[in-house]
Amino acid sequence: MTIHNEAKLDEIAKTVLMPGDPLRVKYIAETFLDDYKLVNSVRGMYAYTGNYKGKEITVMASGMGMPSMGIYSYELYKFYNVENIIRIGSCGAYKEDLDLLDIVLVENSYNEGNFAKNYSGEELHFVEASKKLNNIIEETAKTIKQKYVKCNIASTEFFDPYLPDPLDYAKRLPKEYNILGSEMECFALFYIAKVLNKKSACLLSVSDSNCKKENLTAEQRTFAFNNMILLSLESAKKL
């Protein structure tokens, strides 16, 4: 156990799916898992462990933002011997290439801040997902005929819709990375996995379009991501 997680060591699976929203965690457990058990509720960050088609999987909330993701992913990797974490969250689109509810598989995450420097003094602003996990997710997507977009994403430290002009921020991003949108957690996940020699991936559903001025409701953000959830579960089954 840790100060943020009351689960016993054997109550967390080797593969963890991590939405940001605790209510999405509860929904996934109740809808898709068999024999699930609530193993953590500290600070309302629910974690459930159960079986998906015979594979033991834990679904746990990360909360919002890189500091929160950094804490929970670090503890899972370091103290619970977790090997794989797949973030399943939402993102905002910066370009018309993405429509609402499109599924994004993140290849690399860019952050202009100091998350990596704070941890290790390293000046690092671009970090990649696990190639092994991404390959499994892509193979699974083909098998179940699920469309997706593979791209680079920005991990921001401020919620896009509250920025004075999200597209002005998008113009600041390095052009060579061709970043299609943003979210708030996966840079931290990828970096923690990198320094601890673990594996991480990130699947996102588009919830906002900054260029088309469209967005999902709060309820849709919790319950409308079934295609992404199924892709993550079918992929986790192979790990």
Q: Which of 21, 102, 160, 208 is an active site residue?
A: 208
CA distance 84 to 214: 33
- CATH of residue 193's domain is 3.40.50.1580
Residue 1 lies in a domain: no
Lowest mean pLDDT among 14-28, 96-110, 193-207: 96-110
Share of the chain above pLDDT 90, in %: 75
29 and 48 in contact (C-beta within 8 Å)? yes
Q: pLDDT tens-digit profile of 75-93?
A: 999 999 999 999 999 998 8
Share of the chain above pLDDT 70, in %: 98
**What domain range includes position 109?**
9-236
Asked if the model's pLDDT at residue 222 lies above 70, the reply is no
Residue 13 lies in a domain: yes
Residue 4 lies in a domain: no
**Residue 99 confidence class, pLDDT cut points 50, 70, 90:** confident
Residue 145 lies in a domain: yes
The tally of domains found in the chain comes to 1
Q: Residue 208 catalytic?
A: yes
CA distance 131 to 107: 8
